Amino acid sequence: MMFRRTLTILALALVMLLAGAVDAFAVSATNIAVSKVGESSAVLVVKTDMDSDVSVDYGTAPGSYTTTKSSNGQVRHELTLDGLSPSATVYYRVTLISGADPSDSATLAESTFRTAKSPGDPFSFAVTGDNRPDGDVVTQPAVWSAIVSQVIDEDVDLALSVGDIIYAMAGDSLEQNVAKYDGYFATTMGLTASVPLYLALGNHELVAYADNRAGFEQEFTLPVNNGADAAAYPEDYYSFDYGDTHFIALSTEIPGQEGLITGNQKSWLEADLAANDRMWTVVFMHRPLFSGQHPLEPWVNVFNPTGQQNKSDLHDLFIQYGVDIVFEGHEHHYLRHMEDGIPYVISGGGGAPLSIPLMLSSGDVYGASAYHHLKVDETTATMQVSVIDSDGNTLETFTLQSLDLDIGSIATYWKSYIAYVFRILSVDYQLSNGDSVDLSNVQVAQLKASGGVTPETATPLAVAGIAAGQSTIFSVNYSVPAGVSVFKTWTYISCQDPQGNTYELPGPVV
Protein backbone atom coordinates (compact mmCIF):
# COMPACT_ATOMS: atom_id res chain seq x y z
CA MET A 1 0.00 0.00 0.00
CA MET A 2 2.78 2.34 1.01
CA PHE A 3 4.64 1.39 -2.17
CA ARG A 4 1.63 2.25 -4.32
CA ARG A 5 1.18 5.61 -2.55
CA THR A 6 4.86 6.42 -3.13
CA LEU A 7 4.47 5.48 -6.75
CA THR A 8 1.42 7.72 -7.06
CA ILE A 9 3.28 10.64 -5.48
CA LEU A 10 6.23 10.02 -7.80
CA ALA A 11 3.91 9.93 -10.79
CA LEU A 12 2.32 13.20 -9.69
CA ALA A 13 5.72 14.79 -9.28
CA LEU A 14 6.66 13.64 -12.77
CA VAL A 15 3.47 15.10 -14.22
CA MET A 16 4.22 18.38 -12.43
CA LEU A 17 7.77 18.39 -13.79
CA LEU A 18 6.51 17.72 -17.28
CA ALA A 19 3.86 20.40 -16.87
CA GLY A 20 6.58 22.78 -15.77
CA ALA A 21 8.68 21.86 -18.77
CA VAL A 22 5.76 22.33 -21.15
CA ASP A 23 5.08 25.76 -19.64
CA ALA A 24 8.71 26.81 -20.07
CA PHE A 25 8.84 25.82 -23.74
CA ALA A 26 5.35 27.06 -24.46
CA VAL A 27 6.80 30.42 -25.44
CA SER A 28 6.16 30.54 -29.13
CA ALA A 29 6.85 33.03 -31.88
CA THR A 30 3.68 34.67 -33.20
CA ASN A 31 5.51 36.74 -35.77
CA ILE A 32 8.98 36.82 -37.29
CA ALA A 33 9.45 39.59 -39.82
CA VAL A 34 12.59 40.67 -41.62
CA SER A 35 12.18 44.44 -41.85
CA LYS A 36 13.94 47.54 -43.14
CA VAL A 37 16.43 45.46 -45.11
CA GLY A 38 19.34 47.57 -46.29
CA GLU A 39 22.68 46.79 -47.88
CA SER A 40 24.48 46.49 -44.54
CA SER A 41 21.78 45.91 -41.91
CA ALA A 42 18.26 44.69 -41.28
CA VAL A 43 15.83 44.67 -38.38
CA LEU A 44 14.49 41.29 -37.32
CA VAL A 45 11.14 41.52 -35.53
CA VAL A 46 10.39 38.59 -33.22
CA LYS A 47 7.04 38.61 -31.46
CA THR A 48 6.20 36.03 -28.80
CA ASP A 49 2.97 35.09 -27.09
CA MET A 50 4.26 36.11 -23.65
CA ASP A 51 7.09 38.14 -22.17
CA SER A 52 10.34 36.54 -23.23
CA ASP A 53 14.00 37.05 -23.99
CA VAL A 54 15.20 36.48 -27.53
CA SER A 55 18.61 35.95 -29.03
CA VAL A 56 19.46 35.75 -32.72
CA ASP A 57 22.62 34.16 -34.10
CA TYR A 58 23.50 35.02 -37.68
CA GLY A 59 26.19 34.69 -40.31
CA THR A 60 26.65 34.28 -44.04
CA ALA A 61 27.02 30.49 -44.26
CA PRO A 62 24.52 27.79 -43.29
CA GLY A 63 24.93 26.78 -39.64
CA SER A 64 27.85 29.14 -39.18
CA TYR A 65 26.97 32.09 -36.97
CA THR A 66 29.42 34.89 -36.35
CA THR A 67 27.29 37.39 -34.45
CA THR A 68 24.62 37.22 -31.75
CA LYS A 69 22.08 39.88 -30.86
CA SER A 70 19.67 39.71 -27.97
CA SER A 71 16.64 41.49 -26.57
CA ASN A 72 15.08 40.92 -23.17
CA GLY A 73 11.82 41.09 -21.27
CA GLN A 74 9.31 41.93 -23.99
CA VAL A 75 6.63 40.45 -26.19
CA ARG A 76 7.75 42.23 -29.35
CA HIS A 77 11.49 42.37 -30.02
CA GLU A 78 13.29 44.40 -32.68
CA LEU A 79 16.85 43.20 -33.22
CA THR A 80 19.18 45.14 -35.52
CA LEU A 81 21.39 42.74 -37.45
CA ASP A 82 24.32 44.80 -38.70
CA GLY A 83 27.73 44.24 -40.23
CA LEU A 84 26.13 42.79 -43.38
CA SER A 85 27.08 43.17 -47.05
CA PRO A 86 24.90 44.03 -50.07
CA SER A 87 23.29 41.25 -52.13
CA ALA A 88 24.19 38.66 -49.45
CA THR A 89 22.26 35.73 -48.02
CA VAL A 90 22.08 35.88 -44.23
CA TYR A 91 21.50 32.68 -42.24
CA TYR A 92 19.96 33.12 -38.81
CA ARG A 93 18.41 31.20 -35.98
CA VAL A 94 16.16 32.54 -33.25
CA THR A 95 16.31 31.30 -29.68
CA LEU A 96 13.28 31.98 -27.49
CA ILE A 97 14.01 32.17 -23.77
CA SER A 98 11.39 32.00 -21.07
CA GLY A 99 10.92 35.29 -19.29
CA ALA A 100 9.88 33.40 -16.15
CA ASP A 101 12.80 30.96 -16.18
CA PRO A 102 15.81 32.02 -18.31
CA SER A 103 17.21 28.47 -18.11
CA ASP A 104 14.37 27.29 -20.35
CA SER A 105 14.76 28.01 -24.02
CA ALA A 106 13.94 26.73 -27.47
CA THR A 107 15.92 27.33 -30.64
CA LEU A 108 13.94 27.55 -33.86
CA ALA A 109 15.04 26.11 -37.20
CA GLU A 110 17.49 28.14 -39.26
CA SER A 111 16.02 30.66 -41.67
CA THR A 112 17.48 33.03 -44.26
CA PHE A 113 16.96 36.43 -45.81
CA ARG A 114 18.81 38.46 -48.40
CA THR A 115 20.24 41.94 -47.89
CA ALA A 116 19.34 44.72 -50.34
CA LYS A 117 20.81 44.47 -53.80
CA SER A 118 23.44 46.84 -55.08
CA PRO A 119 22.55 48.79 -58.24
CA GLY A 120 23.07 46.51 -61.22
CA ASP A 121 22.00 43.33 -59.42
CA PRO A 122 18.65 41.92 -60.64
CA PHE A 123 15.97 41.01 -58.12
CA SER A 124 12.31 40.10 -57.88
CA PHE A 125 9.43 41.26 -55.74
CA ALA A 126 5.82 40.34 -55.12
CA VAL A 127 2.82 42.67 -54.95
CA THR A 128 -0.29 41.65 -53.01
CA GLY A 129 -3.32 43.56 -51.82
CA ASP A 130 -6.72 43.40 -50.14
CA ASN A 131 -6.26 40.06 -48.40
CA ARG A 132 -8.47 41.26 -45.52
CA PRO A 133 -11.27 39.08 -44.11
CA ASP A 134 -14.86 39.67 -45.19
CA GLY A 135 -15.99 41.24 -41.92
CA ASP A 136 -15.01 41.92 -38.33
CA VAL A 137 -12.99 38.76 -37.69
CA VAL A 138 -9.38 37.90 -36.95
CA THR A 139 -8.99 34.88 -39.24
CA GLN A 140 -7.61 35.58 -42.69
CA PRO A 141 -9.24 34.18 -45.87
CA ALA A 142 -8.07 30.68 -46.81
CA VAL A 143 -7.01 31.84 -50.27
CA TRP A 144 -4.57 34.28 -48.68
CA SER A 145 -2.67 31.29 -47.24
CA ALA A 146 -2.49 29.81 -50.74
CA ILE A 147 -1.15 33.08 -52.18
CA VAL A 148 1.43 33.38 -49.39
CA SER A 149 2.62 29.84 -50.24
CA GLN A 150 2.93 30.78 -53.91
CA VAL A 151 5.04 33.83 -53.06
CA ILE A 152 7.24 31.77 -50.71
CA ASP A 153 7.86 29.27 -53.53
CA GLU A 154 8.83 32.09 -55.90
CA ASP A 155 11.68 33.02 -53.56
CA VAL A 156 11.26 36.76 -54.16
CA ASP A 157 13.57 39.31 -52.53
CA LEU A 158 10.89 41.57 -51.12
CA ALA A 159 7.12 41.94 -51.01
CA LEU A 160 4.86 44.96 -51.32
CA SER A 161 1.32 45.14 -50.00
CA VAL A 162 -1.08 47.76 -51.33
CA GLY A 163 -3.11 47.59 -48.11
CA ASP A 164 -6.40 46.42 -46.60
CA ILE A 165 -4.70 43.55 -44.80
CA ILE A 166 -7.10 43.47 -41.81
CA TYR A 167 -10.71 44.47 -41.11
CA ALA A 168 -10.38 47.08 -38.38
CA MET A 169 -13.49 48.57 -36.80
CA ALA A 170 -14.03 52.08 -35.47
CA GLY A 171 -14.64 50.77 -31.93
CA ASP A 172 -11.73 48.31 -31.77
CA SER A 173 -9.57 48.47 -28.67
CA LEU A 174 -5.82 48.27 -29.09
CA GLU A 175 -5.98 44.60 -28.06
CA GLN A 176 -8.65 43.86 -30.66
CA ASN A 177 -6.66 45.65 -33.33
CA VAL A 178 -3.47 43.78 -32.44
CA ALA A 179 -5.38 40.48 -32.51
CA LYS A 180 -6.30 41.21 -36.13
CA TYR A 181 -2.68 41.88 -37.05
CA ASP A 182 -1.73 38.68 -35.19
CA GLY A 183 -4.22 36.87 -37.43
CA TYR A 184 -2.42 38.34 -40.43
CA PHE A 185 1.02 37.42 -39.06
CA ALA A 186 -0.10 33.85 -38.29
CA THR A 187 -0.89 33.37 -41.99
CA THR A 188 1.98 35.39 -43.38
CA MET A 189 4.92 34.61 -41.07
CA GLY A 190 6.22 31.87 -43.39
CA LEU A 191 6.90 34.63 -45.89
CA THR A 192 7.95 37.52 -43.66
CA ALA A 193 10.56 35.44 -41.82
CA SER A 194 12.59 35.54 -45.04
CA VAL A 195 11.17 38.35 -47.15
CA PRO A 196 10.75 41.97 -46.02
CA LEU A 197 7.18 43.21 -46.41
CA TYR A 198 6.55 46.86 -47.23
CA LEU A 199 2.99 47.97 -46.52
CA ALA A 200 0.97 50.84 -47.97
CA LEU A 201 -1.94 51.54 -45.62
CA GLY A 202 -5.49 50.75 -46.75
CA ASN A 203 -8.76 52.26 -45.58
CA HIS A 204 -9.58 49.03 -43.68
CA GLU A 205 -6.55 49.53 -41.44
CA LEU A 206 -8.62 52.53 -40.28
CA VAL A 207 -5.72 54.47 -38.80
CA ALA A 208 -7.82 57.58 -38.18
CA TYR A 209 -8.87 55.89 -34.91
CA ALA A 210 -6.31 56.15 -32.15
CA ASP A 211 -6.31 52.51 -31.07
CA ASN A 212 -6.06 51.27 -34.65
CA ARG A 213 -3.22 53.72 -35.33
CA ALA A 214 -1.43 52.57 -32.16
CA GLY A 215 -1.78 48.95 -33.30
CA PHE A 216 -0.33 49.68 -36.74
CA GLU A 217 2.55 51.70 -35.37
CA GLN A 218 3.33 49.08 -32.73
CA GLU A 219 3.11 46.03 -34.98
CA PHE A 220 5.03 47.22 -38.06
CA THR A 221 8.63 48.22 -38.52
CA LEU A 222 8.86 50.28 -41.69
CA PRO A 223 11.18 53.05 -42.88
CA VAL A 224 10.61 56.47 -41.29
CA ASN A 225 11.79 59.24 -43.62
CA ASN A 226 8.74 61.42 -44.27
CA GLY A 227 10.08 64.69 -42.88
CA ALA A 228 7.35 66.99 -41.59
CA ASP A 229 4.99 64.07 -40.93
CA ALA A 230 7.56 61.83 -39.22
CA ALA A 231 6.21 62.68 -35.77
CA ALA A 232 2.46 62.42 -36.47
CA TYR A 233 2.44 59.71 -39.16
CA PRO A 234 5.86 58.07 -38.94
CA GLU A 235 5.40 54.91 -41.04
CA ASP A 236 2.36 55.92 -43.11
CA TYR A 237 4.42 56.83 -46.17
CA TYR A 238 8.10 56.41 -46.95
CA SER A 239 10.59 55.52 -49.64
CA PHE A 240 13.59 53.23 -49.97
CA ASP A 241 16.12 52.12 -52.56
CA TYR A 242 16.66 48.52 -53.58
CA GLY A 243 18.99 47.64 -56.48
CA ASP A 244 18.22 49.91 -59.40
CA THR A 245 14.77 50.72 -58.07
CA HIS A 246 13.40 53.49 -55.90
CA PHE A 247 10.22 52.40 -54.09
CA ILE A 248 7.72 54.96 -52.79
CA ALA A 249 4.88 53.89 -50.47
CA LEU A 250 2.15 56.53 -50.27
CA SER A 251 -0.78 56.76 -47.86
CA THR A 252 -4.24 57.50 -49.21
CA GLU A 253 -5.37 57.29 -45.55
CA ILE A 254 -3.84 60.29 -43.79
CA PRO A 255 -6.55 61.31 -41.29
CA GLY A 256 -8.62 64.13 -42.76
CA GLN A 257 -7.05 63.63 -46.19
CA GLU A 258 -8.49 60.20 -47.05
CA GLY A 259 -8.55 59.56 -50.77
CA LEU A 260 -5.99 62.29 -51.51
CA ILE A 261 -2.22 62.74 -51.53
CA THR A 262 -1.88 66.32 -50.39
CA GLY A 263 -0.32 68.65 -47.82
CA ASN A 264 2.97 67.50 -46.32
CA GLN A 265 2.82 64.20 -48.15
CA LYS A 266 2.56 65.81 -51.58
CA SER A 267 5.45 68.18 -50.82
CA TRP A 268 7.51 65.26 -49.55
CA LEU A 269 6.64 63.21 -52.65
CA GLU A 270 7.86 65.91 -55.03
CA ALA A 271 11.12 66.35 -53.11
CA ASP A 272 11.61 62.58 -52.92
CA LEU A 273 11.03 62.17 -56.67
CA ALA A 274 13.39 65.05 -57.46
CA ALA A 275 16.17 63.49 -55.36
CA ASN A 276 15.77 60.01 -56.82
CA ASP A 277 18.69 58.80 -58.93
CA ARG A 278 17.69 55.15 -59.48
CA MET A 279 16.83 53.75 -62.89
CA TRP A 280 13.35 52.59 -61.91
CA THR A 281 10.72 54.36 -59.83
CA VAL A 282 7.88 52.31 -58.36
CA VAL A 283 4.98 53.94 -56.49
CA PHE A 284 2.55 51.85 -54.45
CA MET A 285 -0.56 53.00 -52.59
CA HIS A 286 -4.02 51.75 -51.72
CA ARG A 287 -6.70 53.74 -53.55
CA PRO A 288 -6.43 53.87 -57.35
CA LEU A 289 -5.87 57.19 -59.07
CA PHE A 290 -7.88 56.02 -62.10
CA SER A 291 -10.82 53.90 -61.06
CA GLY A 292 -14.55 53.53 -61.45
CA GLN A 293 -15.77 51.55 -58.48
CA HIS A 294 -15.82 54.07 -55.63
CA PRO A 295 -17.68 56.94 -57.31
CA LEU A 296 -17.82 59.20 -54.26
CA GLU A 297 -14.08 59.20 -53.61
CA PRO A 298 -12.22 62.42 -54.51
CA TRP A 299 -10.13 61.03 -57.40
CA VAL A 300 -13.14 59.29 -58.96
CA ASN A 301 -15.90 61.84 -58.37
CA VAL A 302 -15.78 64.22 -61.36
CA PHE A 303 -17.87 66.72 -59.37
CA ASN A 304 -15.19 67.01 -56.69
CA PRO A 305 -12.89 69.79 -57.95
CA THR A 306 -10.34 69.31 -55.14
CA GLY A 307 -10.06 65.61 -55.90
CA GLN A 308 -9.86 66.12 -59.65
CA GLN A 309 -7.14 68.77 -59.33
CA ASN A 310 -5.21 66.55 -56.92
CA LYS A 311 -5.50 63.59 -59.29
CA SER A 312 -4.22 65.69 -62.19
CA ASP A 313 -1.36 67.11 -60.09
CA LEU A 314 -0.22 63.66 -58.98
CA HIS A 315 -0.36 62.16 -62.45
CA ASP A 316 1.64 65.12 -63.77
CA LEU A 317 4.24 64.62 -61.03
CA PHE A 318 4.54 60.96 -61.95
CA ILE A 319 5.10 61.89 -65.60
CA GLN A 320 7.48 64.74 -64.82
CA TYR A 321 9.74 62.58 -62.66
CA GLY A 322 9.52 59.44 -64.76
CA VAL A 323 7.57 57.14 -62.43
CA ASP A 324 7.65 53.81 -64.24
CA ILE A 325 4.70 52.01 -62.65
CA VAL A 326 2.06 52.57 -59.95
CA PHE A 327 0.66 49.63 -57.94
CA GLU A 328 -2.71 50.07 -56.23
CA GLY A 329 -5.47 48.07 -54.53
CA HIS A 330 -8.89 48.85 -53.01
CA GLU A 331 -10.75 47.13 -55.85
CA HIS A 332 -10.83 43.36 -55.47
CA HIS A 333 -9.59 42.32 -58.87
CA TYR A 334 -6.74 42.85 -61.29
CA LEU A 335 -6.81 45.83 -63.65
CA ARG A 336 -4.07 47.41 -65.75
CA HIS A 337 -4.82 50.93 -66.85
CA MET A 338 -2.45 52.97 -69.05
CA GLU A 339 -2.42 56.73 -68.66
CA ASP A 340 0.05 58.77 -70.72
CA GLY A 341 2.39 55.82 -70.87
CA ILE A 342 2.32 54.99 -67.14
CA PRO A 343 0.85 51.61 -66.11
CA TYR A 344 -1.50 51.96 -63.14
CA VAL A 345 -1.91 48.39 -61.90
CA ILE A 346 -4.68 47.47 -59.47
CA SER A 347 -3.85 44.28 -57.59
CA GLY A 348 -6.59 43.82 -54.99
CA GLY A 349 -7.15 40.08 -55.32
CA GLY A 350 -5.54 38.86 -52.07
CA GLY A 351 -8.62 37.33 -50.45
CA ALA A 352 -11.40 39.89 -49.90
CA PRO A 353 -14.61 39.11 -51.86
CA LEU A 354 -13.87 39.51 -55.56
CA SER A 355 -15.28 42.31 -57.67
CA ILE A 356 -15.48 42.63 -61.43
CA PRO A 357 -13.32 45.22 -63.21
CA LEU A 358 -15.73 47.43 -65.08
CA MET A 359 -13.34 48.61 -67.81
CA LEU A 360 -14.86 52.06 -67.55
CA SER A 361 -11.94 54.06 -68.81
CA SER A 362 -10.40 54.30 -72.23
CA GLY A 363 -7.03 53.57 -70.65
CA ASP A 364 -8.07 50.20 -69.25
CA VAL A 365 -6.01 47.51 -70.96
CA TYR A 366 -6.67 44.23 -69.19
CA GLY A 367 -8.66 43.12 -66.18
CA ALA A 368 -9.58 39.90 -64.43
CA SER A 369 -11.83 39.05 -61.51
CA ALA A 370 -9.47 36.60 -59.85
CA TYR A 371 -7.58 35.99 -56.62
CA HIS A 372 -4.00 36.67 -57.59
CA HIS A 373 -0.68 38.30 -56.83
CA LEU A 374 1.97 39.94 -58.98
CA LYS A 375 5.55 38.76 -59.43
CA VAL A 376 7.89 41.42 -60.74
CA ASP A 377 11.35 40.62 -62.11
CA GLU A 378 13.64 43.63 -62.26
CA THR A 379 16.91 44.08 -64.12
CA THR A 380 18.63 47.35 -64.94
CA ALA A 381 17.07 47.30 -68.42
CA THR A 382 13.71 45.61 -67.90
CA MET A 383 10.88 45.20 -65.41
CA GLN A 384 8.63 42.22 -66.14
CA VAL A 385 5.27 41.99 -64.36
CA SER A 386 3.48 38.63 -64.20
CA VAL A 387 -0.07 38.33 -62.88
CA ILE A 388 -0.51 34.92 -61.26
CA ASP A 389 -3.87 33.65 -60.03
CA SER A 390 -4.27 31.56 -56.88
CA ASP A 391 -4.33 28.35 -58.98
CA GLY A 392 -0.94 29.21 -60.47
CA ASN A 393 -2.16 30.36 -63.90
CA THR A 394 -0.40 33.36 -65.42
CA LEU A 395 -3.14 35.80 -66.47
CA GLU A 396 -0.94 38.40 -68.12
CA THR A 397 2.73 39.30 -68.44
CA PHE A 398 4.05 42.65 -69.59
CA THR A 399 7.53 44.10 -69.68
CA LEU A 400 8.73 47.67 -69.20
CA GLN A 401 12.07 48.73 -70.58
CA SER A 402 14.36 51.37 -69.22
CA LEU A 403 17.14 53.43 -70.67
CA ASP A 404 19.37 56.14 -69.25
CA LEU A 405 17.94 58.90 -71.41
CA ASP A 406 17.50 62.44 -70.10
CA ILE A 407 15.61 65.31 -71.64
CA GLY A 408 15.60 68.98 -70.72
CA SER A 409 14.59 72.26 -72.33
CA ILE A 410 17.58 74.50 -73.10
CA ALA A 411 15.99 77.48 -74.89
CA THR A 412 12.53 79.04 -75.22
CA TYR A 413 12.00 81.77 -77.84
CA TRP A 414 9.78 83.38 -80.50
CA LYS A 415 11.34 82.32 -83.78
CA SER A 416 10.10 85.42 -85.64
CA TYR A 417 7.91 88.48 -85.24
CA ILE A 418 5.12 86.57 -87.01
CA ALA A 419 5.53 83.71 -84.51
CA TYR A 420 5.33 86.27 -81.68
CA VAL A 421 2.12 87.79 -83.10
CA PHE A 422 0.51 84.37 -83.50
CA ARG A 423 1.98 83.18 -80.16
CA ILE A 424 3.82 80.16 -81.63
CA LEU A 425 6.57 79.51 -79.09
CA SER A 426 9.64 77.44 -79.96
CA VAL A 427 11.36 75.25 -77.37
CA ASP A 428 14.75 73.57 -77.90
CA TYR A 429 15.19 70.30 -76.06
CA GLN A 430 18.42 68.45 -75.42
CA LEU A 431 18.15 64.69 -75.40
CA SER A 432 21.14 63.00 -73.74
CA ASN A 433 22.01 59.32 -74.02
CA GLY A 434 23.74 58.38 -70.77
CA ASP A 435 23.58 54.72 -71.64
CA SER A 436 26.34 52.51 -73.05
CA VAL A 437 24.50 51.66 -76.27
CA ASP A 438 23.94 53.68 -79.45
CA LEU A 439 20.32 54.61 -80.10
CA SER A 440 18.64 54.75 -83.51
CA ASN A 441 15.16 55.46 -84.83
CA VAL A 442 14.80 58.14 -82.17
CA GLN A 443 11.38 59.79 -82.37
CA VAL A 444 9.33 62.24 -80.38
CA ALA A 445 6.31 59.96 -80.18
CA GLN A 446 3.92 62.33 -78.43
CA LEU A 447 3.80 65.86 -77.02
CA LYS A 448 1.61 67.28 -74.28
CA ALA A 449 1.36 70.60 -72.49
CA SER A 450 -0.61 72.13 -69.63
CA GLY A 451 -2.48 75.42 -69.24
CA GLY A 452 -4.33 75.34 -72.57
CA VAL A 453 -1.05 75.24 -74.52
CA THR A 454 -1.14 72.87 -77.51
CA PRO A 455 1.77 71.35 -79.44
CA GLU A 456 1.98 72.65 -83.02
CA THR A 457 4.68 70.21 -84.10
CA ALA A 458 3.28 67.01 -85.56
CA THR A 459 4.26 63.69 -84.01
CA PRO A 460 5.93 61.34 -84.50
CA LEU A 461 8.91 63.63 -85.10
CA ALA A 462 12.12 61.95 -86.24
CA VAL A 463 15.28 62.91 -84.32
CA ALA A 464 18.86 62.01 -85.25
CA GLY A 465 20.31 58.83 -83.74
CA ILE A 466 22.31 59.37 -80.54
CA ALA A 467 25.55 57.50 -79.88
CA ALA A 468 26.35 56.27 -76.38
CA GLY A 469 27.26 59.18 -74.12
CA GLN A 470 26.22 61.78 -76.72
CA SER A 471 23.31 64.17 -76.97
CA THR A 472 21.23 65.85 -79.65
CA ILE A 473 19.01 68.91 -79.86
CA PHE A 474 15.58 69.21 -81.45
CA SER A 475 12.95 71.96 -81.57
CA VAL A 476 9.22 71.84 -80.94
CA ASN A 477 6.59 74.57 -81.42
CA TYR A 478 3.69 75.22 -79.07
CA SER A 479 0.63 77.41 -79.51
CA VAL A 480 0.37 79.52 -76.35
CA PRO A 481 -2.94 81.30 -75.60
CA ALA A 482 -2.77 85.00 -74.67
CA GLY A 483 -2.25 85.47 -70.95
CA VAL A 484 -0.44 82.16 -70.40
CA SER A 485 3.11 82.71 -69.23
CA VAL A 486 3.88 79.50 -67.32
CA PHE A 487 3.14 75.98 -68.47
CA LYS A 488 4.55 72.47 -68.38
CA THR A 489 5.37 70.17 -71.27
CA TRP A 490 5.69 66.40 -71.49
CA THR A 491 7.70 64.76 -74.24
CA TYR A 492 7.49 61.05 -75.02
CA ILE A 493 10.44 59.50 -76.80
CA SER A 494 10.79 56.17 -78.58
CA CYS A 495 14.06 54.70 -79.85
CA GLN A 496 15.85 51.43 -80.58
CA ASP A 497 19.06 49.84 -79.38
CA PRO A 498 21.45 47.93 -81.70
CA GLN A 499 19.57 44.68 -81.02
CA GLY A 500 16.36 46.24 -82.33
CA ASN A 501 14.69 46.47 -78.90
CA THR A 502 12.28 49.40 -78.83
CA TYR A 503 12.20 51.71 -75.80
CA GLU A 504 9.38 54.10 -74.99
CA LEU A 505 9.92 56.79 -72.39
CA PRO A 506 8.47 57.47 -69.90
CA GLY A 507 6.57 54.28 -70.77
CA PRO A 508 4.65 52.62 -73.58
CA VAL A 509 2.84 55.27 -75.62
CA VAL A 510 -0.78 54.30 -76.22
The amino acid that residue 497 corresponds to is D
Q: Does 332 bind Fe ion (CB under 5 A)?
A: no
In the complex with Fe ion, the residue whose CB is nearer, 164 or 435, is: 164
**Cα separations in angstroms, 502 against 277, 318, 499, 509:** 23, 22, 9, 12
In the complex with Fe ion, the residue whose CB is nearer, 323 or 352, is: 352
Whole-angstrom distance, CA of residue 51 vs CA of residue 83 = 28
In the complex with Fe ion, the residue whose CB is nearer, 203 or 379, is: 203
**Residue 157 burial class via C-beta count within 10 angstroms: exposed 0-12, middle 13-18, buried 19 and up:** buried
Of 186-194, 326-334, 356-364, 386-394, the window that binds Fe ion (rule: CB under 5 A) is: 326-334
Whole-angstrom distance, CA of residue 246 vs CA of residue 243 = 8
- Cα angle, residue 161 at apex, residues 190 and 174 outer, rounded to 5°: 80
Site pattern 429..458 for Fe ion (x: CB under 5 A): ------------------------------
Q: Does 52 bind Fe ion (CB under 5 A)?
A: no
Cα-trace Rg, the chain: 27
Q: Are 369 and 357 in contact (CB under 8 A)?
A: yes
Four-residue CA torsion sign, 264, 204, 181, 146: negative
Q: Site for Fe ion (CB under 5 A): which residue of 203, 252, 262, 446?
A: 203
Measured from the CB of residue 390, what is the shortest distance to Fe ion in angstroms? 19
- Return the residue nearest Fe ion (CB atom): 330
Of 83-91, 164-172, 230-238, 336-344, the window that binds Fe ion (rule: CB under 5 A) is: 164-172
Name the E strands within 82-152.
89-98, 105-107, 111-114, 123-128
Whole-angstrom distance, CA of residue 358 vs CA of residue 308 = 20
> How many residues are recorded in the chain?
510
In the complex with Fe ion, the residue whose CB is nearer, 202 or 259, is: 202
Q: Site for Fe ion (CB under 5 A): which residue of 315, 330, 333, 373?
A: 330
Q: Are 189 and 33 in contact (CB under 8 A)?
A: yes
Q: Site for Fe ion (CB under 5 A): which residue of 133, 196, 202, 506?
A: 202
**Cα separations in angstroms, 450 against 320, 336, 476, 478:** 12, 25, 15, 11
Pairing of strands 502-505, 489-496: antiparallel
Measured from the CB of residue 332, what is the shortest distance to Fe ion in angstroms? 9
In the complex with Fe ion, the residue whose CB is nearer, 203 or 281, is: 203
Measured from the CB of residue 329, what is the shortest distance to Fe ion in angstroms? 6
Q: Site for Fe ion (CB under 5 A): which residue of 57, 157, 164, 378?
A: 164
Measured from the CB of residue 164, what is the shortest distance to Fe ion in angstroms? 4
* Count of chain residues binding Fe ion (CB under 5 A): 4
Of 14-22, 288-296, 322-330, 498-506, the window that binds Fe ion (rule: CB under 5 A) is: 322-330
Measured from the CB of residue 148, what is the shortest distance to Fe ion in angstroms? 20
Q: Are 213 and 253 in contact (CB under 8 A)?
A: no
In the complex with Fe ion, the residue whose CB is nearer, 164 or 182, is: 164
Report the interface residues with Fe ion, using CB under 5 A.
164, 202-203, 330
